Structures are given as structure tokens and as C-alpha cells.
Amino acid sequence: MIARCPSGRKYLRIATFFIPALLGCMLLAGCDDAYDVEMLYPPRTDWLVIESLKDVLPTRYDPPGALPVDMLDHPDTTLFGPDQGLLGPKKGRAIIDPRVLKPDQRGELVQALRDVAGRPRLPKIDLNGDKFIVEDKGTRVHIDTLLEKELKLDKKTLAQGSVLYRSQCLHCHGLPGDGRGPTGLWVNPHPRDYRQGIFKFTSSAQTQNRKPRRDDLKGVLMNGIEGTSMPSFTLLKPEEIDALVSYVIHLSIRGEAEFAVLKDLIREKEEGSTEAGEPMIDRIRSKVEELAKLWLEAQKGEIKPVKPPEYKNDQERMESVVRGYKVYMNKDVACAGCHLNFGRDAAFKYDAWGTIVKPRNFFSNMYRGGRKPIEIYWRIAGGINGADMAPFAKNPASITEEEDKQIWDLISFLQILPFPEKRQELKEKHGIVVE
Amino acid sequence: MSESTTHAVGHEHHEMSFIRKYIFSEDHKIIGIQFLFTGLIMFLLGGLLALGVRTQLGWPGAEIPILGKLLFPGSQGHKMGPDFYNMLFTMHASVMIFFVIIPLLTGAFGNFTIPLMIGAKDMAFPKLNMLSYWFMWPALVIILISFTVDGGAGASGWTSYPTIASSTMPSGFGYRSPAQPGSGIGQILWLCSLIFVGVSSMAGSVNYITTIINLRAAGMTMFRMPLTIWAMFITAILQAFALPVLTVALFLQLLDKTIGTTFFLPPTGLQFGNWTTGPGGGQPLLWQHLFWFYSHPAVYIMILPAMGMVSDVIATFARKPLFGYKPMVLALAGIAGLGFIVWGHHMFQSGMDPRLGTGFMVATIMIALPSAVKVFNWLGTLYQSNIHFTTPMLNALAFVSMFVIGGLSGIFMAATPVDIFIHDTYFIVAHLHYVLFMSSVFGIFAGITFWYPKMFGRLMNERWGKIHFTITFIASNCVFYPMHILGVGGMPRRYFEPGVHFNTWEHLQPINTFISIAALTLGTAQLIFFANFFYSLFWGPKAGRNPWKSNTLEWTAPSPAGHGNFDEPPIVFRGPYEYSVPGVEEDYLPQTAPQPSGVPVHAGH
Amino acid sequence: MVKFAVFIVLTIAVAGFGLYALFPAALKPSPGEGRKRWAYLFGIVLTLEALACPFAVLMGWWLPKGVSTYAYDIDLLFYIILVITGVTFIAVGAMFIYILFKYPADPNRKSWYTHGNHKLEMTWTAVPAVLLIVLAFAQIPAWLKVKNLSWLREALQAGEVKPEARFLQVEVTARQWEWRMRYPSTKHMEEWNQDGKVLLNDVRLKMTPRPDDVRRVNELHCVKGQKVLVHLKTLDVIHSFFLPHMRLKQDALPGRTIPVWFEPIEANCFLDGNDWKDGMRLERTVTDKDGKEKGVWVKDDKNIWELACAEYCGARHSLMRGKLFVHDTPEDFLAWLKKAEAEGQQTTVAPEKK
């Protein structure tokens, strides 16, 4: 009934048990949760959006799993329905393909970027050389030192940020911060692509090429972005959030340098210039220096309101609402030009990243950039970068008293719009019908 | 396979082509073996998926050696992403439940054993039987294809709850989901695949019920049937009544996902960032009721056949009659009957009216009773017996002891206040694996090793069988027992990174690593079983008709049994458990053996 | 790591014994010592499992601290069931091992030929049946207390709430992948304090949104000794509101607002400078020189109380972490609420903290 067993095989039996257990232990060796040290940032292969797309009008949001700009490579897909091929005419002009460059040129670019910005596991912003000395508060200091001090882009913080990014952010925001992580394609709005160096919700008092302050990025991480898949990251400790902010800035600087140099190279190719042009490493370094200066400038200060309002009672607040309504309807201000019917009938547009957005519907009680009055102030006064929302203030660094008052009134008005009782009150007491 | 077949008397036999004999066969034994092979291959797939899950849980964030670079491109950091993990646990459960356990227990063993053990030549509807097997193939092909589609295979859990599973973009956006990548085409294919599995099972269940009622041999009264057949019979009734509800539910979700019906979409609509679904006319809770109305009887479908088989194996190798035959049958019926009124215990926390929950709670606690009765009867069978520790017996003993643990842990969940805490934690995962892996799968191993000689005419290697058993027994306890502890701590299930970031569960993470190591051992050990299985097919020692000296009818047929099964139609004189009868020299007395002189007749019931 | 090593050593020991059982002697069909190895295998595994429960308690791998009023009921029930199932497991397991030891096959002994024992069957059916029915009906009050909100139904029916029975209402909206909380403003809370009918009206209307609501994300604040009524909603898929320390779990269903309640019995946060710190435990109160009572708080990791999602909801299901802050007194809570309100109405930027 039972087979006889020849002796001498007991060692085989013992091995059969322990080998799998040992194999399991071997896997412990791979339990480091940082990027593999050999991993490199890949060369950029997706299309670059270099000009505004505001004259292209889509009819609906993009479908899950695909970004409109990425679908330029798949013109036969039917996923985009009536918006199929809408971006086609922009190919080569507003949207350009980095793959037209020769492989060795792209290889040089990648190498230069690696020299300056490092690799995922060991990120850095490293501008070697004496030409990068700047003036700072009367002393002369190397820009690298400033970056470490003001922007916390030192190697240690960046390495920590890289580990956290890989575990928390990578699956949406992608390896180089391109917003094309495996989950990122399947949420809408899509995660931010840092490589254009544009961040929507910034409070810095710059007039153009506005970069966010560290506090802006921190605020996004702490509060999330309501109504999007960007959650609040209060599950992380404060120093972890700081490290992530540094890493995101690093990805942005690196990405934007790559973006700018690619743009230049493609343009040179189109113009048919035969000269070699600047060496790649110098191009990168000068771009990074330019960006670093912009980022540093942004940290200097935020848009400061002139005179924040203090409403002593509901009546005063309502009066502000009434004034705000008048500002809103003012033809020169032209809010209603984009936020049609208080945003309820706003049209779809392409933003600076080639994704589809809609001007905010004020009845929705949803504020992506934050609902605190100061946050709304920043968005109105300074505009929203990348989304065609022009700044209200002529010079965000110094806002006039009248502009300031108008913005605060506008904010009061916007704040009551989602509430039917308040709109009713507006109608009954002040004869303003907002429906 | 051995060629020692004989042909039944009086049966027109004609030369059949190889394809008609072995592939598109109507012979229940071939179909049973086809189910067996398919089930075993899918077992490997399901196991690999489980190992993927455990790798992530044991070493979250780590880069998997070799496979990491192959599976996860650089743009993902060579790291398993959460969407991939969600697909892994979903497909692990779906494959194991619908393509391994149910096909093996009901398809393989049901098909193989029923006609043989009741003395019939074949099933009542051989063509329907063949259809039942071949309907599994579209299901298999579809589920395998679903791994390759855009967005990946279904990733909503095997429970596939709306609205994460059912929400679809409005028409014109492709069949994609705003909720997650795996709820797009992958989910649609998952639903289609399960519909085919359902049809296959329903066809099979009709066949089994009819065969058992109508085609029993002379003298084989209902209460002389072995417990395996009783279990198959009751399981088939469960399948016949419960499956239509699942099929309907699957169709409803399929319609929601393809043509924009709103069975599971609430009137307020849903908001996924920028994507909003329109308003609906249904509610998500409807799916849960429909799904669990099937899936609770399904878990009994997945255990009752094993219980029946284990009863037969224990009686055979304890050389002792089954203790309490009628109570055992009543217990099977009790479990099945009660199984229809307890589905709400999966939904205690779902937002269902809590007063309804009270009713479900009482019924659920009562299900512990017939299960306990069965365990006591098994112990009674073993008491004062002669236990032969063969591989089938060891697996059956493991079934009994592990089922005790699985059943007892179920009482915690039946207690609704405690369920508030342990619902959707690892406690549930521990319980379900104790009753599914450590009961059903050990039952399957017991059945395979027991009936292997009858199926293939050869014996499996005992030594390797025992090695496989020992490692599997120890490793599976190391994998699933600590999960009770994780669950008591409250660690939630379906978590990509459970022991990270939460202060409440960070200290439990080393247990996860321990479980993962044990799981790798467990997975590797199964290769021993497969090696033994395939080696023995060609080079195992030839088996006689009745290598285990068992009583039931199938052991009177040749090994392997031929077309028509028996040399001549059997006549049954007694019940199936006449072992160690006083006055009989041999310690067994087959059902078909004539009554020895001088021995009082114990006619069975 | 030590605990981990202990586990590994134990496993290898059991495995070793298992292999010992496979020595050739065990495989011979003749009776003798070999057969006992299987009994040892089962015996050791089952014994280790029985011991694993007290082992886990000793290692601190056990129920998190229960800090709500009904945590006691739930934990008591858990322990009662643990004792019943533990005793059953040990009894059945011991019987099982005994049988395996005592009855390996012996050619000189014939098995006991019996088909069963009616009396025994009746006993071991009736006794568990009675036990189970008693258990079932004994739990119903606890279950209904937590899920059926009888106290709220009574208050709604009576149409009023006594001042000492005032409760806090918060709306919690779950969505992929965070928890958004909406608190009443301090003014709104004043209205509730003055008139219980306003409070009940808000219950019926599920706290209609007001412009002055205080909105936070991933943090739930409440008061020790005061009930909290959470209006649980979700925007997209089914999530589940799980507070392990409160022993509370409720799935959030799209299209519905589900009322959920709990009452904390211990506080875990206090104002440290400018920030509310959780994970703190009130050790004792001292009276300072002005005769005022001050609490002495110590850091205690067991007082970090978290909110988790307990129903699969997509990619970041395991990262929906919220925090529970239980304030010591209603005044503490109001102080926090005021601060949160001010933050929400911020019109300037606070000076950067160093």
C-alpha cells in the first residue's frame, strides 16, 4: 500500500524545506525602499506644449487612461470622440516632438542633465563653476549655497525626498514628475507635470514666470486639492513634507531646464542652423541658473494685501457682497467672459500642459486652490499660472488700494454664491438676482 | 494511462477518435479529469498572484529582484504600484474561487465520483456534462485575456462592489472607468468570464441532482450513499438555487458598464474629480445583496464536497464506520439550508438597516452548530479506530483540525458588535483562508491522493506526498494563523501598505514579513505536489482495483475505470461504512459484497 | 526584530520536528514509534497556535486601546467569545491529539464497530445550540446601541435635547483618497447650545452647508465625554469610516448620508504653544499657585488615534489616514474651533514659524 523509500534522500528532503525559506530571506536583501542606484531619469519622449492652446476648444473632458497631448502619437484612437484630432493642426507649431532630434543629441542632453541634476536615488542641483556667484544681501555667494539655504535643495533633503516621492507620489506624478504615473493617467484632473515649471496656485509676488513659494507647495501637500485626486498628506511628518517639497522643486527645475533646451534645439533644427551651438552642458547650466534665480526670487515674499477687511456684522459683509457683484459684472474686469453664468456654463479649454480644464463654477462650493480668503485673493490678484486666468492686479508686487478693495469685495461675493439662502437674501434685500 | 479497461456488457461500443475519446468526451471520468487538470493549472496561477500580494505586503516599497525590472517599467520606479497590487488580490481571489476550488470540488470530484460511487454507467446527461466543462474554456480565455487589456485585469476585489467596479464614463469615452484603471475593460471581461463559469456550474448542478436521484444502482438507497455523494448532491442544490442570482447580478453590472443603465448608480450621481457620472436610478447596496445571496452559499459550495470526501477518507483509513451517518447528512443539509439565510453577515457594516442585521446575526451564529456536530462526529469516527497515516488520511486530518479553527474564528464575525471592529481586517482574511485553503484545499489534496489510483491506475508516491503535506501544513499555519493576530490589532485588509504610516499598525509590520516568508515556502512546496502528480502519471506503481481496501462502489471498478465503469451493474447490500465488522475476517466489507454467513445484517438506513 | 527572530526560531523548530517525522521509520507499515510522529506534528502545531494568543498579548500585538463608551461592551463580547472558542479549541484539539496518539493502526486490535450514539448526538447538538442562541440574543442590545442610534431616535421623537446631552455634529465626506470634515462655526455651536431644537433640526437636515462652516481635512476633533454625531457621506465610491480605538466602523455609501456616533472617554490632545498635539495622555492634574487646576500631559504613542478607510476604494485606499483629536473639555474644543475658524477665514499670512 505504501511505497518503500530508499535511504540517503533525507538530505534532499531537508533541503526542500529550507531552500524556499532561504530564498525568502534573500528577498529581505531587497527591502530598501529607495530607487535602485542605477536608475536614471529617462530622456523625454512626450510632446512639448510651447505655445498657448487657447484657441482650440474641446467639447468635453478627456477620457480615462489618456492625455490629449500623448494621443498625438495615436491619431486613430476614437477615445476622444468629437474632440478627435483637435490638437492635430497644432503639431509642429504649438506642440513639438522632441524625438525629431538626433539620438546622440538627446543622449548628450540626458548626460548634461545627469551632471547637473543627478539621478533619482541621488538627486542634486549642482552648478559647478565660478561663474555662478551671485549677490545676496551684500555678500557674494555661490548660487548652490543659496539653493541649499533658501530652497532646501541640499543633497540629504533631496535624497530623503526622493525616497518619499517614490513611495507616495510616483504612482501618480511619474518618475521625472511628468504627471504620467500609472495611476495618473486614470484620474482627472491629471496630476501636475512639473517639467514645465508652472504651478497654478502660487502666492509669490513676481510679475511673470511666477514660481511658487515653498509654503505654497507645502500647503498643497497638507490640504490636498479639493475636488481632485491630490489628497492631503497629513499622514506624513512635517520634515517629510519639507523633503518632498524640495524634491518637487528639484524635479521642476530639472524638467524645465530640459524643456527649455529641447525647445531651443528643436527650433535650431527647424531653422536649419548648421553650427554646433553651445555645448549641451553649458546650455543646461545657464538654464538652471536662470530658473534658480526665478525660484529664489519667488521665495522673497508673497502677494500682500493692502488692507484686509474686517466686517463687524452681517450687514457690512452684505454691502461688500453688493460691491463685489458690481466688480464681477464690470465689463473691464470681464470675469463673466470666462466664468459664463457664474461658471455654470463655462467652456472647456486646453491649459498650458495640454490637459483640459474649465473655468471654475462658483456655485459648486469647491475651491481647488484653497478656500481661505487670502488664498482666493492670491489667485485673483496674481492670476492662475498655466490656466489663462490673468492677474487682476497690474503689479502683484505692489497692489493699489483700489484694486485691493475690489478684490476683497469680489471675494465676499464669490463666497456667498454657493448658498441659496444668501442669494435669496441678496435678491430680497438688494434687488440683485443671481440665479 | 493504463490500458486495463473492460467494456460493460450489452453496451454497443464503437471505435471513437482520439478527440472524441479524450478531448470532447462525454465520459464523466474524462470530464472530471479535464476539470482536475484545468483546476490544478489555475491553482498555480492563483498561487503566483498570491505570492505577488505577499511580496508587496512583506517588503513594501522594495524592488523585487529580477521580476521587478521585468514587470514594472522604469517610469514606475521598478516598483509595484498600488493599482497593480489591487489587480493582484482581486485576480487571486477570483481565480482561486471560480477557477480552482469550485471546478475542482464540484467539477472534478463531482463528475468523477458521482456515477462511480452510486453505481451508474455515466451521468444522466452526458452531453450536458461535456457542455459544462467546455463552457469553462471561454471563461478561462476571457479571464486570461483580461490581464492584457488597457488598464489591466479587474481590480475591484472579487466582490466587485459598485461603485468602484460599476462606474463607467458616459458613452463615447470607451469602456473606461473614472474610478480606477482596473474597472474598465478588465472589469467587463471579469464579469463576462464569471457569467460563463456560472452557466458551467448550473449545467453541472442539474446533471448531478438528476443523476443522484435517478441513476443509483439497485439497493443503493439514499441513506446508503457515501457522504461524498450526499455532499455533492446538496452542493448541487445550492448551486442550482444560488447561481441564477449571481448571473443576474453580473448581467446588471455588465449592463451598467456597457450600455449605461444605472442599476447601481445612486440618484445623486458620483463625482470623480472632473468626471461626474450623471444621476442614476439605483443603489450600490443592491449589488451587495444580490452578490452575497450567491456568494454565501458559494462558500458552502466550496466546503461541503470537501467535508463529504473527508468523511469517506477518514472512515476508510480509520477502518471504522462513520460515526453518526444520519446526523452527518442532516448537518450537511442544515449548513446548506441555513446558508441561504445568512448572506447579510457580509454586509453588517454596509449601511444596511441594523435591525435587519440582527436577524442575519442570529442565523449566522446558528450555522456554527451543524459544523460543530460534524467535527464531533469526525472525532467520534477516529475514536478507538485504527488510524493508517497515509497521505490522504493526513490531509483529511488536517482538514478536520484546521476547520475547527476556521469555524471558531467565524463566531467572532457572527457576533455583530465584534464584527464592527474586525470587519474588513485581516481577521476575516485569516478565517476565510482557514476554511478555504486549510480546509477545502487540504480536502482537495486528500481527494486527489485518494482517488488518483482510480483515475489513472497508478499510485502517487507516499513519501513525497507526506513531505508535501508536512511542509504545507506547517507553512500554511505560519501564513494564516498570524493573520488572526493582525486582525485583532485591527489591521485592515486590501491594504497596499498596511503596516506603514499608521501608528496603530506599524508595530505589526514584522508579522507581515514573517507571513510572506512562510508564504514563499508554502508556494514552493506545492511544486512537490505537482511533481509527484505528473511523475506518478507515467512512472507511478500500478494500482489494483482497491489499493486502500475501501468499501464504496468505485473500488469495485477497474483502475482506471473504463467506458461504462463496472464489469456488471452493481447491487448494493449495505451502507458504505462497514469497516471492522465483528465476525468478518477482513477489516472491511464492501457495499457490493454478498452478506457473509453468520454475520448479522446491518442494513444501513 | 527580537520578536521576529523568536517567531522564526519557533517555525524552524516546528519544521525540524516535522522533518524528524519523515525519517524512514515513520513510513514502514508496521506499528510502533514512527506513527507517533504525526501526532507530534499535529500536537505541536495546535499547541503553538493555542499559545500564540497569550503570546500575542504579551508582545503587545493585541486590540488597540478602547476609548469609547461602547468599546467596553464590544471588548467584553470579544473576550467572552474568545474564552468560549478558546476552551472549545483546546478541548477539541486535545481530544484530537489524544486520539492520534492512542489509536494508530494496530493489526492486533480491531476498531470499535459502532455507527454512532443517539444520546451523544443529542447532547452535543443541544448544548452548543443553547450556548449559541444565548450568545446571539445577548449581543443584540450592544449592536443596536451602536448602529441604531436609539438615543438619537428618542431625542428626535421627544423633540428636544437636554443641555447636558448636547452632542457635536460633524459632516465627514469621504472621497478618493481623503476625509473632508465640515464642522459648525462657533456661532453655529452657540445656536445649538441655546436651543436644542436647532440642534435636532440640523440632525434632520444633515447639517445644511453654511458659509461660515469650518472645513478641515483628515482631522476629526471632538470632546471627551460628549457624543459626536457624524454625518457620513461619500462622493465617489464606497469607503468605510473606521476608528479602531473607538471600535467604530461604518461604510459610507454613495447617495446616502449615514449617521454614525461615538462618545470618547479619554482625551488625547492638548494645546502645546500654538499647536494642538495629539498622542498625549493626561497623567494627573495639579493645582498651581493660583489655585487653578492644570493638567500634566505626557507623550504616549498609544494615544495617537487614527481614522482609516476600511472598504476598498482604489489606489490610495491604504493611505487614507486621518487623525482623531479628543479634547479634554468643551472649552478646549471651542478654542480649537475658534482657531480653525480663524485659519479658514485668513486674510493675511501668518508670520513664518521658525
- pLDDT computed for residue A23 by the predictor: 52
Chain A residue whose CA is closest to B56: A31
C4 contact residues in B (CB cutoff 8 A): 510, 513-514
B461 contact residues in A (CB cutoff 8 A): 3
User: What distance in Å separates residue C329's CA from the closest CA in chain B?
Assistant: 25
User: What distance in Å separates residue C200's CA from the closest CA in chain B?
Assistant: 21
B524 contact residues in A (CB cutoff 8 A): 19-20, 23
Q: Return the number of CB contacts < 8 Å for B and C.
A: 357
Top residue of B503, B506, B549, B586 to mutate, by most chain C CBs within 10 Å, is B503
The answer to whether B394 contacts C310, with C-beta atoms less than 8 Å apart, is: no
Instruction: Give B498 or B247, the one with higher predicted confidence.
Output: B247
Taking the Cβ of residue B333 and every Cβ of chain A, the question of whether any pair is shorter than 8 Å is answered with no
Residues (pLDDT < 50) of chain A are 1-8, 10-11, 26-30
* CA distances to A99, A295, B47, B367 from A197, in Å: 21, 10, 46, 63
Nearest to C174 by CA among A373, B164, A179, B399: B164
Q: Is the pLDDT of residue B317 over 80?
A: yes
Average pLDDT along chain B = 91
- pLDDT computed for residue A92 by the predictor: 86
Helices (H), B181-283: 185-214, 227-258
pTM value? 0.92
Q: Encode pLDDT of C164-193 as tens digits.
A: 888 999 999 999 989 999 999 999 999 998
DSSP letters spanning A379-401 = HHHH-BTTTTB--SSS-TTS--H
Taking the Cβ of residue B5 and every Cβ of chain A, the question of whether any pair is shorter than 8 Å is answered with no
Q: What is the mean pLDDT of residues B138-156?
A: 94
Q: Encode pLDDT of B51-99 as tens digits.
A: 999 999 998 888 777 777 788 877 777 888 899 999 999 999 999 999 9
The answer to whether B273 contacts A183, with C-beta atoms less than 8 Å apart, is: no
Top residue of A7, A17, A190 to mutate, by most chain B CBs within 10 Å, is A17
Any chains having at least 3 CB pairs less than 8 A from chain A are B, C
Helices (H), B383-441: 391-414, 416-422, 426-435
* CA distances to A112, A137, A281, B394 from A126, in Å: 11, 22, 12, 66
Nearest to A410 by CA among A434, A381, A388: A381
Domains of chain C by start residue, with CATH: 32-104+122-148 (no CATH), 154-344 (2.60.40.420)
d(CA B582, CA B506): 62
Helices (H), A46-154: 103-117, 143-150
User: What distance in Å separates residue A231's CA from the closest CA in chain C?
Assistant: 6
Q: Encode pLDDT of B251-277 as tens digits.
A: 999 999 999 899 999 999 999 989 988
Q: Encode pLDDT of B180-227 as tens digits.
A: 999 999 999 999 999 999 999 999 999 999 999 999 999 999 999 999
Chain C residue whose CA is closest to B426: C310
Q: Which residue has the cell 504653544?
A: C273
Total count of residues recorded for chain C: 354
d(CA A198, CA A50): 12
The answer to whether A81 contacts B172, with C-beta atoms less than 8 Å apart, is: yes
Q: A280-298 vs A103-117: helix axis angle to the nearest 10? A: 50
Q: Encode pLDDT of B121-130 as tens digits.
A: 999 999 999 9
Per-residue confidence in pLDDT tens, chain C, 354 aa: 555 565 566 666 655 655 555 554 444 444 444 577 888 889 999 999 999 999 999 988 999 999 999 999 999 999 999 999 999 999 999 999 999 998 988 888 888 898 888 999 999 999 999 999 999 999 999 999 899 898 999 899 988 888 888 899 999 999 998 999 999 999 999 999 888 889 999 999 999 999 999 999 999 999 999 999 999 999 999 999 999 999 999 999 999 999 999 999 999 998 888 888 888 888 888 888 888 888 888 888 889 999 999 999 999 999 999 999 999 999 999 999 999 999 998 888 765 443
Domains of chain B by start residue, with CATH: 303-541 (1.20.210.10)
The answer to whether C177 contacts A226, with C-beta atoms less than 8 Å apart, is: no
Q: Are C299 and C279 in contact (CB under 8 A)?
A: yes
- pLDDT computed for residue C8 by the predictor: 62
A172 contact residues in C (CB cutoff 8 A): 315
Taking the Cβ of residue B65 and every Cβ of chain A, the question of whether any pair is shorter than 8 Å is answered with yes
Q: Which residue has the cell 470499535?
A: C112
Taking the Cβ of residue C66 and every Cβ of chain B, the question of whether any pair is shorter than 8 Å is answered with no
Banded model confidence at residue B422, pLDDT cuts 50, 70, 90: very high
Instruction: Tell me whether strands C228-234 and C258-262 are parallel, antiparallel or unpaired.
Output: antiparallel
DSSP letters spanning C197-236 = HHHHHHHHTT----TT-EEEESEEEEETTS-EEEEEEESS
d(CA B236, CA B443): 18
The answer to whether C346 contacts A373, with C-beta atoms less than 8 Å apart, is: yes
- pLDDT computed for residue A325 by the predictor: 93
Q: Are B359 and B280 in contact (CB under 8 A)?
A: no
The answer to whether A234 contacts C24, with C-beta atoms less than 8 Å apart, is: no
In C, what residues contact A, Cβ < 8 A?
Answer: 12, 15, 19, 22-24, 27, 29, 176-178, 180, 209-211, 215, 217-219, 315-316, 319-323, 343-349, 352
- What are the cell numbers at A355? 490637459
Nearest to A246 by CA among A214, A274, A275, A223: A214
Q: For residue C4, how far is the Cα from the chain centroid?
A: 25
Q: Are A134 and A140 in contact (CB under 8 A)?
A: yes
User: What distance in Å separates residue A224's CA from the closest CA in chain C?
Assistant: 8
- pLDDT computed for residue A30 by the predictor: 45
Banded model confidence at residue B248, pLDDT cuts 50, 70, 90: very high
Taking the Cβ of residue C25 and every Cβ of chain B, the question of whether any pair is shorter than 8 Å is answered with no
d(CA B289, CA B388): 46
B151 contact residues in A (CB cutoff 8 A): 64-65, 186
Q: Return the number of CB contacts < 8 Å for A and B.
A: 160
Any chains having at least 3 CB pairs less than 8 A from chain B are A, C
Taking the Cβ of residue A419 and every Cβ of chain C, the question of whether any pair is shorter than 8 Å is answered with yes
User: What distance in Å separates residue B40's CA from the closest CA in chain C?
Assistant: 26
User: What distance in Å separates residue A67's CA from the closest CA in chain B?
Assistant: 13
Top residue of C36, C251, C316 to mutate, by most chain B CBs within 10 Å, is C251
Q: Which of B167, B320, B368 sits opposite C111 (nearest CB)?
A: B320
Any chains having at least 3 CB pairs less than 8 A from chain C are A, B
- pLDDT computed for residue A236 by the predictor: 87
Q: Are C132 and B365 in contact (CB under 8 A)?
A: yes
C123 contact residues in B (CB cutoff 8 A): none
User: What distance in Å separates residue A132's CA from the closest CA in chain B?
Assistant: 33
B501 contact residues in A (CB cutoff 8 A): 235-236
User: What distance in Å separates residue C313's CA from the closest CA in chain B?
Assistant: 7
* φ, ψ of residue C294 in degrees (nearest 5): -125, 145
